[in-house]
Amino acid sequence: MILGFEAAFICAPLIVAFILPGPAKTAYIEGVSAFGTLAQFSTFAVAGYLFLRLLRRVHGRGFWSLIGPADRAGADLKRTAMAVGLLLLAIELLPPWVVLSDLAEVRGLLRWVALMPLAFAAILLQVGTEELYFRGYLQQQLACLSPSPVVWMGIPSLFFGLSHYFNGIGPADSILYVVWATLLGLACADLTARTGTLGAAIGLHLANNAFALLLVGIQGRPSSGLALFLYPDFDSTEYDYSLQALLAPGGILQLLTSIAMVLVMWLAARIAIRR
């Protein structure tokens, strides 16, 4: 199943790129326009579909066996996404210079708002597919094999973290991504265990990714097509991304900030679901 999911994840963008005509294919591969970003995240629906077909064939299980009771999952998703989303928005707006810098290009507000339904739907497809696999499938399967949380929480979370390694620019940045994603995975795993559904985990993951994609982006970078505030690109060669940079004050501060952000999101989710 692990190899099957990885194959589905790799094949999905190839299938979509093959279907799209020339200009749309270019926009899809680059991912810097609204269409490209929406199409990239919507592609997770293809990977999710292939995974569910494989799940049915191998285990005889369906979609809801991974999610849990629909009513509880839906309620937990809404409460968690709202609580974590408002928290992240408050944190970002507290220091106005972060978002309202003169360097940022502000895209048309009406267009940005009009795209929100499609944006949230695409991001939900992405986080939903990841949660189906990492928390819905892997966590459940490993819990059947071992009662130890180190196994059924730790292994899927570490696997989830490692899958984010290539998001970074260099070794230091990549390791920070892995640490952050592993901690986010542990938070989602804990919420899943507490609630018995994927709702809270999807809500937390959805709020986090929506915040990262819809508010601030960098010009010319992948997945920047939906951001309201767009900052100029920068030359990454001017900065140190070696392993030694992790031990510098800036690297340590980034690490501590990542830990603190996941912690406060997890606490907000816990308060929202009252568990």
Residue pLDDT, tens place only, 225-250? 999 988 888 877 777 788 888 888 88
Per-residue pLDDT, 8: 85
Helix (H, G, I), strand (E, B) or coil at 229: strand
- Spatial neighbors of 268 by CB under 8 A, at least 6 apart, are 80, 83, 84, 87
Helix axes 2-19, 22-30, angle to 10 degrees: 140
Per-residue pLDDT, 96: 52
Per-residue pLDDT, 101: 59
User: Residue 102 above 80 pLDDT?
Assistant: no
Per-residue pLDDT, 235: 77
User: Residue 255 above 70 pLDDT?
Assistant: yes
Half-sphere exposure of 39 (CA within 13 A, CB side): 22
pLDDT class of 98 with cuts at 50, 70, 90: low
pLDDT class of 35 with cuts at 50, 70, 90: very high
Of the candidates 212, 235, 6, 25, the one whose C-alpha atom is nearest the C-alpha of residue 119 is 212
Share of the chain above pLDDT 70, in %: 96
Per-residue pLDDT, 95: 60
Q: Distance between CA 57 and CA 39 in Å, rounded?
A: 28
